[in-house]
Structure 1
Amino acid sequence: MNADSVFLINFALHSLILGSAGWGVTLLLRDPLCRSAAAGIALAFCVIGPSVISEWSYPYMGKAPLLTAVRETLETDWRIVVPAVESTTAAKPVTASPVSSPMPKPAWSIDDLVHALRYLFWIGLITLLLRHFWRTARVLRWSLTLRRPNEMEVSSLPSGMDASRLRVFEREGSPCAVGWLRPVIAVPASAFQTLTSTEWRWMMGHEQEHLRMGDTLHSWIQECLRAFLWWNPFAHLLMECHARAREEVCDAAALRHSESRDHRAYADFLLM
Structure 2
Amino acid sequence: LSESIAATLKTSAAPSMPIAEIPTIEPLPLPAAPVIPWHERLTHTLQPYLPLMVGVWIFGVIALSIRHLFGWLLVQRMKRRYLDRIGERIQQQVTDLSERIRISRPVQVFQSTLASAPLTIGWIRPMILLPASALSGLSPAQIEAILAHELAHIRRFDYPINLLQTLVETFLFYHPAVWRLSKRIRIERENCCDDIAVEVCGDPVAYAKALAEVADLQSQPALAMSMGDGSLIDRVRRLIGKTREEEARSSAGWVSGVLAVIIVYGFMTIGMSGAEERDRPLAVDLAKSDEGQIRTVFNADGKPVADAQVYFLRPDEVLQIHNGIPERRDTSIVVNTDSEGRFDISGKDESDTIALFHKEGFSVIDSASLTNANYIVLREWGTIKGSMEKGGNPWVDQEVRLDVCTTSDLTGVMKPYIQLQSTAKSDKNGRFAFDRVVPGTRLVGIAVETYRFGGSFGTALSHMKRVEVTGGQTTQVTLGGAGRTVSGQVVLDQLGNSMVDLDQGFVDLDLKKGLLQQMLQGGSDEKTTLNYTARLNVDGSFQIEGVNPGTFSMEIEIRNPNPSGDHPRHRPIAT
From 100, 103, 112, the equivalent of 2:48 is 112
**Cα distance in 2 for residues equivalent to 1:148 and 1:172:** 12
The aligned runs of 1:1-272 (5 Å cut-off) are: 110-145=46-81, 147=83, 149-150=85-86, 153-155=87-89, 160=96, 164-170=107-113, 173-258=116-201, 260-261=202-203, 263-272=204-213
CA shift for structure 1 position 185: 0.8
- CA deviation profile, 1:92-126 (whole Å, cap 9, x unmatched): xxxxxxxxxxxxxxxx9532122321111111111
CA shift for structure 1 position 254: 0.6
CA shift for structure 1 position 186: 0.6
CA shift for structure 1 position 269: 1.6
One-letter code aligned to 1:174: A
CA shift for structure 1 position 264: 2.8
One-letter code aligned to 1:154: E
**Cα distance in 2 for residues equivalent to 1:128 and 1:144:** 25
Q: Secondary structure at the match of 2:83?
A: coil
CA shift for structure 1 position 138: 1.5
TM-score (structure 1 length as normaliser): 0.53
**Cα distance in 2 for residues equivalent to 1:182 and 1:175:** 17
Please say if residues 158 and 200 of structure 1, whose CA atoms lie closer than 8 Å, have aligned partners that are also in contact.
no
One-letter code aligned to 1:129: S
Matched residue, 1:93: none
Q: Secondary structure at the match of 1:271?
A: helix
Seen in structure 2, the aligned counterparts of structure 1 residues 144 and 196 have a Cα distance that, compared at 3 Å, is same
Q: Secondary structure at the match of 1:231?
A: coil
Q: Secondary structure at the match of 2:85?
A: coil
Which of the two has higher C-alpha Rg? Answer: 2
Seen in structure 2, the aligned counterparts of structure 1 residues 172 and 142 have a Cα distance that, compared at 3 Å, is closer
- CA deviation profile, 1:127-177 (whole Å, cap 9, x unmatched): 111111121112111211253525xx1136676456842122135621111
**Cα distance in 2 for residues equivalent to 1:139 and 1:198:** 28
Query: Among the aligned pairs, what percent are the same residue?
Result: 23
Please say if residues 142 and 206 of structure 2, whose CA atoms lie closer than 8 Å, have aligned partners that are also in contact.
no
Unmatched 5+ stretches in structure 2: 1-36, 99-105, 214-575
Unmatched 5+ stretches in structure 1: 1-69, 75-107
RMSD: 2.8
Seen in structure 2, the aligned counterparts of structure 1 residues 238 and 164 have a Cα distance that, compared at 3 Å, is closer
Q: How many residue pairs get matched?
A: 165
Seen in structure 2, the aligned counterparts of structure 1 residues 123 and 192 have a Cα distance that, compared at 3 Å, is closer
Structure with more helix by fraction: 1
Q: Secondary structure at the match of 2:128?
A: strand
One-letter code aligned to 2:88: V
Please say if residues 158 and 197 of structure 1, whose CA atoms lie closer than 8 Å, have aligned partners that are also in contact.
no
**Cα distance in 2 for residues equivalent to 1:249 and 1:223:** 19
**Cα distance in 2 for residues equivalent to 1:215 and 1:184:** 13
Deviating more after overlay: 239-248 vs 130-139: 130-139
Please say if residues 222 and 239 of structure 1, whose CA atoms lie closer than 8 Å, have aligned partners that are also in contact.
yes
Please say if residues 123 and 154 of structure 2, whose CA atoms lie closer than 8 Å, have aligned partners that are also in contact.
no
Please say if residues 125 and 227 of structure 1, whose CA atoms lie closer than 8 Å, have aligned partners that are also in contact.
yes
One-letter code aligned to 1:113: Y
Please say if residues 165 and 185 of structure 1, whose CA atoms lie closer than 8 Å, have aligned partners that are also in contact.
yes
Q: Secondary structure at the match of 1:168?
A: strand
Seen in structure 2, the aligned counterparts of structure 1 residues 130 and 164 have a Cα distance that, compared at 3 Å, is closer
